């Protein structure tokens, strides 16, 4: 059971990083292609990347904490 949860958490963590990278690349490409659209905004062009990064950091930290809890619980029960 713990291996299955660990595998699911790894998939979630990998997907989160992939979404962040994909969004960052797309926003950068869009900024380089159409800079006029971003000049009209009061916020810098990379603001949405920062918001995605903050959300990704929260998800990654939560997954990491869950993985540590599962590992500690497994060690206390004598499961490796």
Q: How many CA atoms lie within 13 A of 4 on its CB side?
A: 1
Q: Tell me, what DSSP letter sits at residue 45?
A: T
For the chain, domain boundaries? 2-76
- The ranges of the chain with pLDDT < 50 are none
Q: What is the pLDDT of residues 9-31, one digit of tens each?
A: 999 999 999 999 999 999 999 99
Structure tokens belonging to residue 61: 């930290």
CA 16 to CA 29: how far, in whole Å? 20
Which pLDDT does position 74 carry in this prediction? 77
**What's the predicted TM-score (pTM) here?**
0.84
Which pLDDT does position 80 carry in this prediction? 55
Nearest to 45 by CA among 56, 60, 34, 57: 34
């Amino acid at each position: 059971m713990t291996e299955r949860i660990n595998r699911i958490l790894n998939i979630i963590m990998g997907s989160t990083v992939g979404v962040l990278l994909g969004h960052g690349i797309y926003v950068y490409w869009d900024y380089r292609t159409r800079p006029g659209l971003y000049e009209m905004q009061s916020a810098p062009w990379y603001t949405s990347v920062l918001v995605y990064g903050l959300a990704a950091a929260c998800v990654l930290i939560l997954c990491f904490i869950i993985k540590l809890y599962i590992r500690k619980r497994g060690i206390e029960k004598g499961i490796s």
